[in-house]
Structure 1
Amino acid sequence: MKVKKISVANVDVSALPRLLDEERIGFQPIDHANWKAYPYKPKAAFRIAHTENAILLHFNVKETSVRARYNRDNDTVRTDSCVEFFSIPAADGIYYNFECNCIGTIRVGAGKGCINREHAPQEIITEVQRWSSLGNKPFPERMEKTSWDVALIIPYTVFFKHKITSLNGKMVKANFYKCGDELQTPHFLSWSPIETPRPDFHSPYFFGTLAFE
């Protein structure tokens, strides 16, 4: 998938959806329910672009219930209504997980596998700009159909195990997810399909490819 480069400086994260509209960047579905035990498929999609110094992400979700228990970064946000971006930005096999619940609480880690992953320090995580249509206050599971959006601006400096100065012309392996491990109806969706016996997002072998302009 091609990732468009945008020439813009100092964009406010709350204005990111409008900017991506103006740039005519469309949404890509996160719609692979890879495991028969978890057939529920909320409607989830993402769109992505990049600038000279950051990745721009916008997720849109429509689901039958929504939860935001966690409001401290690096907590287990995957158990809430959560969207995720995993990527391998360099040739050494280290991949990053960016996990964000529906109120913009994020978890960032890095490593070559799911065991012993290194969490990004808080001073790094605060560099990620976030906006959520549901605000930033935690709440218990709401049993009602809900549509929500989150937008993220991820500076290259947040890839804390590397020194990335540009993604121009790069091919990056990545995947995008929608999950809710502890919701009344647990679900595990991916953009690029995954062929493992049980839900496992830490499967870089199944990452798709992003072609950065």
Structure 2
Amino acid sequence: MAYRVYTITDLEQLEECAVFCIDHYQWTQGGKPKAYGRMGLLKDYGLIISMTAIEANPLRTFTKENDPVYMDSALEAFLSFSGAHGNQKYMNFEMNANGALLSAFGTVTERKFINEYTGLRALCETNIEKDRWTVLLKIPMELTCSLYGREPLQSGDSFTCNFYKICETPEYEHYASFAPIISEKPNFHLPEFFKEAVIV
């Protein structure tokens, strides 16, 4: 069943959107922090994604744009508007608890940071609590339209996506996904395993 992306008129309504669980743990020997999120289409803005990890004192060493935050404790959103065929292009947004955001676009074999394509940016906000941390990712519609050369998203449109909880630093290493992945080695860059999402 496709994930249903509801159109909302203010950020508070994101709490009413459907929950996705990042609970397919693979290639993980150590801890398995619980993680989940919600996604909505904010009217006159674009896609809004909130993700939470139940994790105290997350590893957070990186602070700059496009730093390798996947070495920290990170939450990630990968989205494709290319359709489910061929060597599709996708956007990947990777965030740590400092709010450092790595964002890239392209195919599995040819990718660049988004700032090499356009001056448009996704925005990331974070909140750290005693036993958890949350990211709020805001993806302007203009960014999606610019990268894909497409019209703005509307009701009935579909795309594919996956969401991840990761840390590649050996002593904290773990990998989890929203949609399951078939791969012998850790690899989130497999758009053939993204799950369908539909704007409603």
TM-score (norm 1): 0.81
Question: What is the rounded CA distance, in whole Å, between the counterparts of 1:151 and 1:122 in structure 2?
Answer: 23
Q: Which residue of 110, 135, 141 maps to 1:150?
A: 135
Q: Which residue of 117, 132, 139 maps to 2:111?
A: 117
Question: What is the rounded CA distance, in whole Å, between the counterparts of 1:56 and 1:39 in structure 2?
Answer: 31
Q: Which residue of 2, 5, 12 maps to 2:4?
A: 2
Question: What is the rounded CA distance, in whole Å, between the counterparts of 2:133 and 2:48 in structure 1?
Answer: 17
> Deviation of residue 86 (structure 1)?
0.7
Report the CA distance shift for 1:125/1:78 in structure 2 as closer, same or farther (over 3 A): farther
Indicate whether 1:202 and 2:189 are aligned: yes
> Deviation of residue 186 (structure 1)?
0.6
Give the aligned partner of residue 167 of structure 1: 153
Q: Which residue of 24, 31, 35 maps to 1:44?
A: 35
Give the aligned partner of residue 97 of structure 1: 92
Q: What are the superposed Cα offsets for residues 2-29 of structure 1, whole Å, 9 maximum, x if unpaired?
A: 1001134xxxxxxx4x4423xx224221
Comparing 68-77 and 85-94, the one that deviates more: 85-94
SS at match of 1:193: coil
Give the aligned partner of residue 19 of structure 2: 27
Q: Give the AA of the match of 1:107.
A: L
Indicate whether 1:86 and 2:78 are aligned: yes
The answer (yes or no) to whether the contact 1:53–1:166 under 8 Å persists in 2 is: no
Question: What is the rounded CA distance, in whole Å, between the counterparts of 2:188 and 2:76 in structure 1?
Answer: 9
Report the CA distance shift for 1:26/1:155 in structure 2 as closer, same or farther (over 3 A): same
Q: What are the superposed Cα offsets for residues 161-189 of structure 1, whole Å, 9 maximum, x if unpaired?
A: 22343221211111000101116321010
The answer (yes or no) to whether the contact 2:30–2:173 under 8 Å persists in 1 is: no
Q: Which residue of 67, 72, 75 maps to 2:59?
A: 67
Count residues in correspondence.
192
Report the CA distance shift for 1:154/1:41 in structure 2 as closer, same or farther (over 3 A): same
The answer (yes or no) to whether the contact 2:92–2:104 under 8 Å persists in 1 is: yes
Report the CA distance shift for 1:210/1:161 in structure 2 as closer, same or farther (over 3 A): same
Is there any run of 5+ residues in structure 2 with no aligned partner, and where?
Answer: none
> Deviation of residue 158 (structure 1)?
2.5
Give the aligned partner of residue 69 of structure 2: 77
SS at match of 1:121: helix
Question: What is the rounded CA distance, in whole Å, between the counterparts of 1:188 and 1:72 in structure 2?
Answer: 23
Report the CA distance shift for 1:153/1:125 in structure 2 as closer, same or farther (over 3 A): farther
The answer (yes or no) to whether the contact 1:33–1:40 under 8 Å persists in 2 is: no
Q: Give the share of equivalent positions with the same residue, in percent.
A: 27
Report the CA distance shift for 1:28/1:97 in structure 2 as closer, same or farther (over 3 A): same
TM-score (norm 2): 0.86
Q: How well do the aligned residues superpose, as a CA RMSD in angstroms?
A: 2.3
